[in-house]
């Protein structure tokens, strides 16, 4: 019987591999194409929510397979608010890749870098097909890590962007966002004190706020031609944003529908236009009119995580990066 070893990649290893945002966007686009063609597999499972009082622990396993890329495995993520008091991040994750031919584990790697990259890259792919091609402005609701990486991803597909308006609950976080992003992109980065000011003139709105007591984004603030990409499953938007959209898309409807109640999203009355993979593979058109208001809610499944993780694993093996562990 042959021996089985597994590659272990830390966040330092991953950052040293040089896999770019452009690479991640291309991988996510190909994964979505495979989804539209029916060449992927997932096993939707509800997340665990433990505890009746804050801080509540969230645990979620996301197994997936992507044909064509031959990427298979599972992502295991957790989130608990308040870890900062212990010097720990609120969110953590690991990805385990398996050889789809033998089932043997290939690699275990830090999972949050992939999570942020794929979430932003999915937004960029959605924008490629659903945003106005002459888009010039982005509205960012939630000036955290996702709000930063989303702009870097959108830069890959929207060459006309000139302005980013960002809002967050704390003025200090807005200032930090502006200072950092001005070093990374040649855009006019403008901090604004209200969600309305970030949204009302934006061609593309990305919402990554995680703490709110009432919907943050109003339907009346979305201008004709806007693309809204909620990264928190739509709960940050008033129901009319989803119900009155000219087109509503999700990455995977069964997963979205199963998770919606936990997120406070009422799916009754929603009219789904398509899954995003249907548009990417050409089965359905994307934006058809300049004035369409389109909402695209992406993520929640592990296909794109596996695609990016597989690229990281392949690159690490080619370069001799990471640590090999003998399992049996």
Provide mean pLDDT across the span 163-172. Answer: 93
For the residues 147-153, what does the mean pLDDT come to?
97
Task: Please tell me the distance from the alpha carbon of residue 297 to that of residue 282, in angstroms, as a whole number.
Answer: 19
Domains of the chain in sequence order: 5-114+303-322 (3.30.1780.10), 120-297 (3.40.50.720)
Q: Does the pLDDT value for residue 133 go beyond 80?
A: yes
How far is residue 52 CA from its own chain's centroid? 27
Bridge partners of 228, per DSSP, are 205, 295
**In this predicted structure, what is the pLDDT of residue 92?**
95
Decide which of 275 and 46 is more confident.
275
Range with the poorest average pLDDT among 44-53, 131-140, 168-177, 310-319: 44-53
Question: What mean pLDDT comes out for the span 120-143?
Answer: 97
**Mean pLDDT of the region 264-287:** 95
Whole-number average pLDDT of the chain = 94
Average pLDDT over residues 87-116: 95
User: Is the pLDDT at 234 greater than 70, yes or no?
Assistant: yes
The answer to whether residue 62 scores a pLDDT higher than 90 is: yes
What is residue 26's predicted lDDT score, i.e. its pLDDT? 98
Per residue, what are the HEC states of the chain?
CCCCEEEEECHHHHHCCCCCHHHHHHHHHHHHHHHHHCCEEECCCCCEEECCCCCCEEEEEEEEEECCCCEEEEEEEEEECCHHHHCCCCEEEEEEEECCCCCCEEEEEECHHHHHHHHHHHHHHHHHHHCCCCCCEEEEECCCHHHHHHHHHHCCCCCCCCEEEEECCCHHHHHHHHHHHHHHCCCEEEECCCHHHHHCCCCEEEECCCCCCCCCECHHHCCCCCEEEECCCCCCECHHHHHCCCEEEECCHHHHHHHHHHHCCCCCCCCCCEEHHHHHCCCCCCCCCCCCCEEEECCCCCHHHHHHHHHHHHHHHHHCCCEEEECC
CB-facing half-sphere around the CA of 78: CA atoms within 13 A:
13
Q: Tell me the percentage of the chain whose pLDDT exceeds 70.
A: 98
Q: What is the pLDDT of residues 13-57, one digit of tens each?
A: 999 999 999 999 999 999 999 999 999 999 877 778 887 777 778
pLDDT of residue 232: 82
- pLDDT (average), residues 85-90: 88
Is there a contact between 118 and 276 (Cβ–Cβ < 8 Å)?
no
- The C-alpha angle 107, 45, 267, rounded to 5 degrees, equals 135
What is the band of 71 on the pLDDT scale with cuts at 50, 70, 90?
A: very high
């Amino acid at each position: 019987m042959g021996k089985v070893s597994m590659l272990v990649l830390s966040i330092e290893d991953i950052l040293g591999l040089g896999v770019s945002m452009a690479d991640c966007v291309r991988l996510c686009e190909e994964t979505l194409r495979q989804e539209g063609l029916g060449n992927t597999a997932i096993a939707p499972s509800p997340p665990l929510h433990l505890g009746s009082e804050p801080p509540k622990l969230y645990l979620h396993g996301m197994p997936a397979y992507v044909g064509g890329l031959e990427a298979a495995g599972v992502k295991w993520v957790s989130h608990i608010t308040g870890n900062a008091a212990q010097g720990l991040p609120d969110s953590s994750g690991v990805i385990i890749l398996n050889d789809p031919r033998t089932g043997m584990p290939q690699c275990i790697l830090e999972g949050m870098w992939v999570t942020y990259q794929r979430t932003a890259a999915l937004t960029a792919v959605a924008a490629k097909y659903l945003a106005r091609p002459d888009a010039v402005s982005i509205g960012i609701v939630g000036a955290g890590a996702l709000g930063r990486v989303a702009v870097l991803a959108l830069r890959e597909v929207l060459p006309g962007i000139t302005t980013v308006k960002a809002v967050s609950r704390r003025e200090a976080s807005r200032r930090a966002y502006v200072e950092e992003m001005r070093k990374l992109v040649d855009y006019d980065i403008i901090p604004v004190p209200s969600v309305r000011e970030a949204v009302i003139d934006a061609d593309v709105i990305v919402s990554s706020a995680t703490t709110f007591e009432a919907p943050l984004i109003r339907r009346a603030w979305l201008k004709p031609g806007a693309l809204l990409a909620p990264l928190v499953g739509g709960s940050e938007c008033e129901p009319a944003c989803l119900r009155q959209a000219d087109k509503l898309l999700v990455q995977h409807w069964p997963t979205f529908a199963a998770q919606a109640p936990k997120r406070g999203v009422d799916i009754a009355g929603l009219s789904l236009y398509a899954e995003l993979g249907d548009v990417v593979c050409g089965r359905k058109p994307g934006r058809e009119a300049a004035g369409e208001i389109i909402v695209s809610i992406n993520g929640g499944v592990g296909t794109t995580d596996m695609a990016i993780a597989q690229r990281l694993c392949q690159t690490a093996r080619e370069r001799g990066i990471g640590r090999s562990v003998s399992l049996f």
